[in-house]
């Protein structure tokens, strides 16, 4: 059954990072049409006029292309439209045409650019498991795919790596879950992710990459003790568990450059780029 809900999303705006706001357009859907606001401009431009329902517009990293979900001419798990930022319609991609016998997601629910030429297409298999597929934005060819716990997949800034929480079969009891924080294809090897399968850590949200793309971090909780922790992983290095204060509450983190800053209600720690030691700041 086709799962994509196609509807008008009024006021839905997807912006790039603050550093690129001056040059990269933001895009939204109004009355089933796509509008774009260029960096520094307050007057939106209408790019489409076909009247077909659209959703999830997203701008490529270089600001040249816009991808969105729409209704297509053939039945598929999802139809992806690609526009240039001047409104020229470039192509339509029928993602996994029906009745092609392909497993995986029931329909496309989200789009995001991985690089200027590749897209991550994602959708749910069931209430807890999602599939992320990286496709070529010109040909629609599938380049890689991942089974993920929820929508917890994140590409590195240059698109060369992925960090995610590997899926746990949907009907697994809470006590028996053993989610793992993985890079790239690690979760295809049951012994490669973090933590080992004999330990139970639940993770929150999706991993966050350092700006240089060499490390990712995520917050989590020890299932039995309820102790909060932050897990930081560098590519090719041993994972670091950051639980600086067992009594800490509201433990969270952010990136300042490539330093990881860990915060609680009354204290701040810093893990400098390349260091394995968490240092108290205040």
Cβ atoms 63, 116 nearer than 8 A: no
181 lies in a domain? no
| pLDDT tens by residue, 221-232 | 999 988 889 999
Peptide bond into 195 cis (omega under 30): yes
Instruction: State the residue range of the domain holding 12.
Output: 1-151
40 lies in a domain? yes
CATH number at residue 147: 2.130.10.10
Return the structure tokens found at 91.
Answer: 């192509």
**The pLDDT of residue 74:** 79
Structural domains in the chain (count): 1
Residues of the chain with pLDDT under 50: 1-22
Beta partners for 95? 78
Spatial distance between the Cα atoms of 73 and 108, rounded to a whole number of angstroms: 16
30 lies in a domain? yes
Average pLDDT of the residues of the chain: 86
**The pLDDT of residue 85:** 85
183 lies in a domain? no
**The pLDDT of residue 166:** 95
51 lies in a domain? yes
Contacts of 267 (CB under 8 A, 6+ apart): 244, 245, 248, 280, 282
SS3 188: helix
196 lies in a domain? no
Spatial distance between the Cα atoms of 21 and 243, rounded to a whole number of angstroms: 35
**The pLDDT of residue 54:** 92
Contacts of 31 (CB under 8 A, 6+ apart): 8, 10
Beta partners for 81? 68, 92
**The pLDDT of residue 104:** 86
């Amino acid at each position: 059954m086709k799962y994509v809900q196609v509807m008008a999303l009024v006021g839905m705006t997807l912006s790039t990072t603050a550093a690129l706001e001056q040059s990269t357009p933001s895009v939204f859907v109004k009355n089933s049409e796509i509008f774009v606001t260029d960096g520094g401009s307050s007057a939106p431009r209408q790019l489409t006029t076909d009247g077909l329902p659209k959703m999830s517009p997203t701008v490529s990293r270089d600001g040249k292309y816009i991808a969105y979900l729409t209704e297509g001419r053939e039945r598929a798990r999802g139809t992806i439209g690609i526009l240039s930022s001047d409104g020229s319609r470039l192509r339509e991609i029928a993602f996994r045409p029906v009745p092609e016998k392909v497993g995986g997601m029931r329909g496309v629910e989200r789009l995001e650019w991985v690089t200027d030429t590749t897209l991550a297409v994602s959708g749910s298999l069931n209430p807890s498991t999602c599939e992320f597929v990286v496709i070529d934005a010109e040909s629609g060819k599938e380049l890689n795919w991942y089974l993920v716990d929820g929508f917890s997949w994140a590409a590195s800034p240059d698109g060369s790596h992925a960090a995610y929480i590997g899926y746990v079969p949907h009907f697994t009891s809470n006590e028996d879950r053993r989610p793992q924080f993985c890079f790239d294809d690690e979760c295809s090897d049951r012994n490669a992710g973090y933590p080992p399968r004999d330990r139970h850590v639940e993770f929150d949200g999706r991993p966050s990459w350092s700006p240089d793309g060499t490390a990712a971090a995520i917050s989590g909780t020890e299932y039995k003790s309820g102790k909060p922790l932050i897990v930081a992983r560098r590519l090719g290095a041993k994972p670091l568990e950051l639980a600086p204060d067992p009594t800490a509450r509201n433990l969270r983190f952010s990136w300042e450059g490539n330093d990881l800053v860990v915060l609680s209600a009354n204290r701040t720690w810093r893990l400098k780029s390349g260091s394995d030691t968490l240092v108290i700041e205040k």
